[in-house]
């Protein structure tokens, strides 16, 4: 029986480990927090920091192949592992996804639209960049932002940018033009070791407080928009020589065209619906891809809506369990802190 090493011990690692077990793979989790969500359902855990050489070497000794469940895995750690074992998705995907500037340049290099952008390395750069966008834009840290953290919105030239560079920590930033989107969709796509690709249907995503709240499928977009999103996701997979599942988030404009917001080189929250509405979920698809198995059929047998259970929304659990056509998935987190993803449910429609 082969063992898959997973860097990161959160809910995505947990769901990957569960899918791996169904296909006769053992899993070992690298995560500093003992008894993390993933380790609760895996075969073993290496309790160590993601950049701890001893922990990484132990993971490489224990696992036959290695993957990850979050995009901020240190690239040096992924490369250290890659010298000993196959690491999928390729560490290059981490490099691209970890820096919003590199990411946008890469996506544009694939011939795919993004928001316009300027690198911002000082308060003076910010003034010049805002002037180019008529005073409107979204200022983001280039690295380590997630769920809307490390961002500042400028709606118009009336918003005063004074002190914004310092307020975001005097770190390298990017100013993006404000995209006048009608909706946000995402595509969960996969590429196998043999180069085969498969896309799940696009989901309509709604965020609350910067955190994904619901994903609904089918998305309310016309067929050409869905096709453009599929083509873009597939082109990104090819350009990265990717193996595994990727999440690609898009803005949909009034004319139906799509603009990539960001990519996540991993299974993605907006793909959780696949476990209820497809025969092969995004988690199994990822395991199949990285293990060199044939990709599963990504077609959807039901319409559905996935909703995250954030913080004390977990109190809804008894009602959800009593409802028909609802698949509940909990993450094994003891304490329901505000903003913490405790689980999700998918309602078949
Ligand atoms: P992000 O962390 O980049 O995914 O951004 C979080 C959310 O902020 C997105 O889901 C959008 O709703 C909004 N947002 C981010 N970038 C832009 C942009 N350039 N234009 C308009 N809205 C944006």
Query: How far apart are the C-alpha atoms of 167 and 153, rounded to whole Å?
Result: 13
pLDDT of residue 209: 87
Q: Report how far ligand 1's centroid is from the alpha carbon of 261 (Å).
A: 7
In the chain, the domains with their CATH numbers are 3-87 (3.40.50.20), 116-176 (3.30.1490.20), 183-348 (3.30.470.20)
Cβ-contact 247, 174 below 8 angstroms: no
Q: Which two tokens stand for residue 328?
A: 């509940």
Query: How far apart are the C-alpha atoms of 295 and 289, rounded to whole Å?
Result: 6
Mark residue 297 as left, alpha or beta (left: phi above 0; alpha: psi -120 to 50; beta: remaining): beta
pLDDT of residue 111: 97
Residues in a beta bridge with 27 = 4
DSSP per-residue codes, 5-49: EEE--SHHHHHHHHHHHHTT-EEEEE-SSTT-TTGGGSSEEE-S-
Query: How far apart are the C-alpha atoms of 34 and 281, rounded to whole Å?
Result: 27
Give me the average pLDDT of each 10-residue run along the chain (349 residues). Answer: 97 98 98 97 98 98 98 96 98 97 98 98 97 97 76 94 94 97 98 98 95 97 98 98 98 98 98 98 98 98 98 97 98 94 98
pLDDT of residue 142: 96
Q: Which two tokens stand for residue 68?
A: 């990850």
pLDDT of residue 39: 98
Mutation pick for ligand 1 pocket among 154, 186, 261, 308 (CB with most ligand atoms within 8 Å): 261
Query: How far apart are the C-alpha atoms of 115 and 140, rounded to whole Å?
Result: 13
pTM of the model: 0.96
Cβ-contact 232, 258 below 8 angstroms: yes
Q: Is 247 annotated as a binding residue?
A: no
pLDDT of residue 148: 61
């Amino acid at each position: 029986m082969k063992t898959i090493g997973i860097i990161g011990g959160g809910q995505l690692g947990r769901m990957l480990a569960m899918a791996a077990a169904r296909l006769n793979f053992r899993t070992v989790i690298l995560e500093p927090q003992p008894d993390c969500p993933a380790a609760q359902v895996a075969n073993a855990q290496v309790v160590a920091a993601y950049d701890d050489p001893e922990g990484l070497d132990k993971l490489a000794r224990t696992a036959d192949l290695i993957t990850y469940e979050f995009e901020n895995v240190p690239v040096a750690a992924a490369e250290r592992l890659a010298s000993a074992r196959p690491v999928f998705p390729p560490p290059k995907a981490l490099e691209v996804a970890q820096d919003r500037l590199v990411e946008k340049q890469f996506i544009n290099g694939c011939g795919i639209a993004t928001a316009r952008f300027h690198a911002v390395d000082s308060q003076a750069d910010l003034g010049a960049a805002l002037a180019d966008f008529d005073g409107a834009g979204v200022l983001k840290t280039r690295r380590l932002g997630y769920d809307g953290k490390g961002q500042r919105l400028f709606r118009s030239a009336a918003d005063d940018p004074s002190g914004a560079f310092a307020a975001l920590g005097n770190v390298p930033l990017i100013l993006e033009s404000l995209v006048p989107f009608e909706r946000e969709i995402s595509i969960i796509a996969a590429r196998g070791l043999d180069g085969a690709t498969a896309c799940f249907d696009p989901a309509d995503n709604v965020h609350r407080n910067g955190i994904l709240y619901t994903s609904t499928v089918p998305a309310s977009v016309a067929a050409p928009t869905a096709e453009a999103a599929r083509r873009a996701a597939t082109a990104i997979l090819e350009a990265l020589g990717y193996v595994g599942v990727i999440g690609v988030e898009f803005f949909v404009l009034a004319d139906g065209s799509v603009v990539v917001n960001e990519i996540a080189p991993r299974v993605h929250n907006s793909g959780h619906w696949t476990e209820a509405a497809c025969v092969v979920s995004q988690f199994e698809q990822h395991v199949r891809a990285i293990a060199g198995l044939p990709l599963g059929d990504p077609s959807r047998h039901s319409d559905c809506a996935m909703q995250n259970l954030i913080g004390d929304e977990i109190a809804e659990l008894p009602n959800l369990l009593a409802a028909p056509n609802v698949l509940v998935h909990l993450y094994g987190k003891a304490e329901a802190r505000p903003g913490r993803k405790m689980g999700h449910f998918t309602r078949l429609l």
